Amino acid sequence: MRRRAGVGAIQKQKLEQVKYKEKGSEIQENQFQQMTAQLDVFRENLELFAIKHKSEIKKNAQFRRQFQEMCATIGVDPLASGKGFWSVLGIGDFYYELGIQAVEVCISTSYKNGGLITLNELRNRLIASRGRARQEITNDDLLSAVKKLRIFGNGFTVVPIGKGNFLVRSVPGELNMDQTTVLQKATLLGNAYISRQILIEDVGWTKTRADNALNDMVKDGVAWVDHQYQDETLYWFPSMFAECVTA
């Protein structure tokens, strides 16, 4: 017959478990302190690096992107730091200024594109308005700047449409999944237009689903209706005109 463990053995076992738990917590605390110390060292080195290369960070778009990636690895966001050391760099000011200029372009073009503009067209218009003497700006810069515009609510959003292409929406509300699919399909075809038949045959939608998506986009001013085509009605997207002309 198997003997049951005595009270003393049980208490000893519990005491050992407590000791193991305390030792484990001590090890975790030590590791946490070491990691914190290492991050502090990284931040100090990053500040020294930023001081040394301040001019290049502001002028060289590629260097600026790499610098932001370095910051992200240790949880530092110089764009969100309006006070203290990072404000001296003026990087945040660069993106806020770029964001304001992007808003101006979006507003000035919304009457013809319904508040949708490709990131590439937005960048080209900004370069033209800013002048070649200003800092070089990239699509990555624009994406960072537009993200800062979220403080205004859902009026400014970025819509991925495949193959590294983006649309910037500058009017309240959001595109639903079907509307985004329509734009993605048009981009994939290299067209500035789509038709109901394309959505039915290529995407596998029903006539009702295609009509609902297209009619909502026309209502929002995102798409224009073209009844002049012989075989079927086409729906044109003015936000893509420049992309298709230069493609």
Residues 82 and 92: beta-carbon distance below 8 Å: yes
Let me know if 25 is exposed, middle or buried by CB neighbors in 10 A (0-12, 13-18, 19+): exposed
Query: Where are the alpha helices (H) located in 74-172, listed in sequence order?
Result: 85-89, 91-113, 119-130, 139-148
SS3 track for 226-244:
ECCCCCCCEEECHHHHHHH
- In sequence order, the β-bridge partners of residue 224 are 236
Q: What does each of the 247 residues of the chain score in pLDDT, given as a tens digit?
A: 455 556 666 666 767 676 667 666 666 666 666 666 666 676 677 667 766 777 777 677 677 777 777 776 766 666 555 544 545 555 666 777 888 888 889 888 888 888 899 999 999 999 888 776 567 788 888 888 887 776 666 667 888 887 788 999 887 777 889 999 999 999 988 888 999 999 999 999 999 999 999 999 999 889 999 988 778 899 999 988 876 655 4
Instruction: State how far the alpha carbon of 3 is from the alpha carbons of 6, 8, 11, 64, in Å.
Output: 9, 14, 17, 72
Q: Which of 175, 178, 169 shows the shortest CA–CA distance to 209?
A: 178
Check: CATH 1.10.760.10 for 90-174? no
- DSSP letter for each residue of 60-78: -HHHHHHHHHHHHHTT--T
Question: What's the pLDDT at 84?
Answer: 46
Name the residue ranges covered by the structural domains of the chain: 15-75, 90-174, 175-247
Identity of the residue numbered 188 = L
Question: What's the pLDDT at 30?
Answer: 66
DSSP strand pairing (193-195 vs 234-236): antiparallel
Question: Would you tell me which CATH number, out of the four given (1.10.10.10, 3.40.50.10790, 3.90.190.10, 3.50.50.100), belongs to the domain 175-247?
Answer: 1.10.10.10
Residue 164 DSSP symbol: T
Whole-angstrom distance, CA of residue 217 vs CA of residue 245? 22
Cα angle for residues 210, 211, 215 (degrees, 5° grid) = 125
Same CATH fold assignment for domains 90-174 and 175-247: yes
pTM: 0.63
Three-class SS state of 154: coil
Query: What distance, in Å, lies between the first and last C-alpha atoms of the chain?
Result: 86
Whole-angstrom distance, CA of residue 160 vs CA of residue 144? 14
Sequence-ordered list of residues with C-beta below 8 angstroms from that of 43, at least 6 positions apart, any chain: 74, 76
Q: Which of 181, 177, 170, 159 shows the shortest CA–CA distance to 221?
A: 170
- In sequence order, the β-bridge partners of residue 168 are 117, 158
223-229 — which CB contacts under 8 Å span 24+ positions?
223/114, 226/193
